Amino acid sequence: MYSILLANEKQKSTAAGVKKCVRDRDLTHSLYRRVLMGSSSMIVPDNQPLEDHWIRQKTFRSWNHTVFTVDQLKVGLTRYDDKRWILQDGVTTRPHGHYLNQNE
């Protein structure tokens, strides 16, 4: 996931598994920064601890030739990446199983 502010003050962002209409309506650049750059021990100015950002979205599903709607509550933004090893600087990453990860 990423979010970029363009020169004309528009935002380009992605979030896997989140519908475009929900992403455009609810996920702002400042929210991306707060979720990704914060640590779990930090407190934001309104005394709220930093945590994952949950979203609610509705989708259509089909099962056994029956179409129905599903109301999903899921994690839309999170700072945790379970596929990468985060180094001491907090920014640089390597894939799990990398030969240099054995020393750290």
Tens-place pLDDT, residues 30-71 = 888 888 777 554 444 555 555 788 899 999 999 999 999 999
Residue 19: pLDDT over 80:
yes
pLDDT at 46: 52
Indicate whether this model's pTM tops 0.75: no
pLDDT at 49: 54
Half-sphere exposure of 15 (CA within 13 A, CB side): 28
pLDDT at 48: 53
pLDDT at 78: 84
75 forms beta bridges with: 54
Indicate if the alpha-carbon torsion angle 16, 21, 24, 28 is positive or negative. negative
> Could you give the dihedral angle defined by the CA atoms of residues 94, 100, 102 and 103, in that order, rounded to the nearest 10 degrees?
-120
| 3-class state of residue 50 by DSSP | coil
Q: In this predicted model, what pLDDT tens digit does every residue of 73-104 receive, in sequence order?
A: 998 888 777 788 888 887 788 898 888 887 76
pLDDT at 42: 47
Residue 9: pLDDT over 60:
yes
